[in-house]
Structure 1
């Protein structure tokens, strides 16, 4: 079990109705802690009928009943709307691609949930995230999970010292197959439950249909980087860099029969730019600029340093050099070209297994689609 040295204390576990949080609660109970489960409702059904919160709630109740744990319920849907969803919509409206899971962890699970746990008299919270925490020289560190394929430190990089001091990640040393085995051995209803995927409030429904409820569709032109019109799109908001699906581009005269990928968006002119080839030069960049960064230790390692980075979840580590600018933003140079680095997504920095922190990507030196010279853009 990962984290700082445990003492006998009250711990509130966020039980989501999934197998991971179920086993986290089980492990803490068996370790002798005074455990209470809390089910968080973060989204109010918008009338589409696709919300699975009630199913998850029933599973959370069943698990706590099986484990003999009390369960409480907290509605954070208003806080989620204001702290996460409004930002999600504004980013898409600006043509960027946000990552709501990162913001949800910072604003809901490790802020409002932590406050609710303390109101219940608990000294710590726990979740089913795959990550680890340790303490070195008086500072808490966020570490990758033992199961690198399930590691979720990428989504937790906005946490700080106070949050890590009060958080336990019981699954940090386990692999996913071990977690399912433990759940099955203890007869938990979630043992074989499918993992949730995608953005939590969208679920299994069509992303474009969901977003159209909040950002009205506006058709526009699909063009190649050199300006040739080859199709029409339903709205640039619905697409992200590197995307292949949903373009509906048929055969184009004079072009090979090869897949098309999104390589640029002009929000003001409502133009979507596409090119052929997964590794199109229009998707390649070696430098990026970020918003002011968050550092888990409270400060960066130095004003300029080398480390590895991920610009998307489950991406292999990429070597880079980081320069911290006067306003706290970052200028990052990669050792090799990166594909489809996307404004609005998170840049997360690592020193081995230690997550240093991260920032929102603002721009890159990838070629700006629609320009005559594909290499005259700069981060």
Structure 2
């Protein structure tokens, strides 16, 4: 009789990781639940959300009959992810810490800890799939295209993908909730977490100003008209319409005001209204590229790309420079391509990798 393989499942207290653990148990694996604490701080109501999530992990694990443990990576998270997050905001950019968390925590120290526990594999509740062929791992898009999370995994390296399972890759979200409900899991109808993990439901500006000093400055148009005062450039993103507090000021042409540029040197927030052509770029430059599973054979090739998570794939032509950086040309001009976010490449149902957007080219 073959010995059971051991899988350590990263359990967050949500429905996805709960069902991932349940399915692996039903498939005959020896399953261990591991709850990861990355952030130790109460929310605005004095509640520690990690405690609430851990309680759900406890309930689910007891119901399906698996052991569960807690591991604390809050120190590593602050050093590897949160410090980067703050530095990027100081530079006037808009980072995506959830991408970094996957490479630096979930498939880094978390995986190392799981293997030290005797795991043959680790698994998560991500909506994506994986194919292992020899020493290469291919990251595949999820069957549920609306929930596909390959965007957030674009920086995970080949060694990190080894011995990884994604049990939900071929499932729809509705199926996952149905499985949870049939099994009587307490997380079956739990609301999905949204936004940046360590901020949660808190006010973003209030959170950020407790770590970075906000420097107010002029909010103005390109022709020199001052419309008001911005609260600090770090609070605004390219193309942003809400929260500008200048809606009562109308000019010829009408339309809502939106952010067109953040001048960090002079601490000026430039806004415009009506014609959005200034927001549309023809290409972008990308650094810190991670290829899945390996760099392409051609220096120039065509594929599709996403420049933010909630976006359909766009046709592009990619040029790989000698430095390893990318110059990506858009088949159609793209709106509000933002420095600090990730450009993620796709082809043939696979995520090919991605990198950080350094500059939009107009």
Tell me the TM-score normalised to structure 1 length.
0.92
Question: Which of the numbers 281, 284, 292 marks the counterpart of 2:277?
Answer: 281
What is residue 350 of structure 1 aligned with on the other side?
Answer: 346
Mapped pair 1:293 → 2:289: yes
Distance in 1, Cα, partners of 2:246 & 2:48: 32
Whether the aligned pair in 1 keeps the contact of 2:131 and 2:137 (CA below 8 Å) is yes
Mapped pair 1:223 → 2:224: no
1:269: Cα distance to partner?
A: 1.1
1:136: Cα distance to partner?
A: 4.4
What is residue 361 of structure 2 aligned with on the other side?
Answer: 365
1:342: Cα distance to partner?
A: 0.2
Whether the aligned pair in 1 keeps the contact of 2:301 and 2:318 (CA below 8 Å) is yes
Question: Which of the numbers 258, 261, 269 marks the counterpart of 1:261?
Answer: 258
What is residue 115 of structure 2 aligned with on the other side?
Answer: 118
What is residue 28 of structure 2 aligned with on the other side?
Answer: 32
Structure 1: stretches of 5+ with no match in the other structure: 1-6, 367-379
Question: Which of the numbers 203, 215, 238 marks the counterpart of 2:235?
Answer: 238
More deviation in 222-231 or 319-328?
222-231
Alpha-carbon displacement from aligned partner over 1:282-321 (angstroms, at most 9, x marks no partner): 1100110011311011323421111100000031111111
Distance in 2, Cα, partners of 1:225 & 1:165: 51
Whether the aligned pair in 2 keeps the contact of 1:144 and 1:354 (CA below 8 Å) is yes
Residue 107 of structure 2 aligns to a residue whose secondary structure is helix
Distance in 1, Cα, partners of 2:244 & 2:250: 17
1:226: Cα distance to partner?
A: 2.5
1:256: Cα distance to partner?
A: 4.6
More deviation in 43-52 or 84-93?
43-52
Whether the aligned pair in 2 keeps the contact of 1:160 and 1:298 (CA below 8 Å) is no
Structure 2: stretches of 5+ with no match in the other structure: none
* Number of equivalent positions: 360
Alpha-carbon displacement from aligned partner over 1:121-156 (angstroms, at most 9, x marks no partner): 101100000000013475210010000000000000
What is residue 84 of structure 1 aligned with on the other side?
Answer: 81
Distance in 1, Cα, partners of 2:222 & 2:253: 16
Mapped pair 1:43 → 2:57: no
1:252: Cα distance to partner?
A: 2.4
Distance in 1, Cα, partners of 2:99 & 2:320: 22
Whether the aligned pair in 2 keeps the contact of 1:222 and 1:272 (CA below 8 Å) is yes
Residue 292 of structure 1 aligns to a residue whose secondary structure is strand
1:8: Cα distance to partner?
A: 3.9
What is residue 156 of structure 1 aligned with on the other side?
Answer: 153
Question: Which of the numbers 211, 230, 249 marks the counterpart of 2:246?
Answer: 249
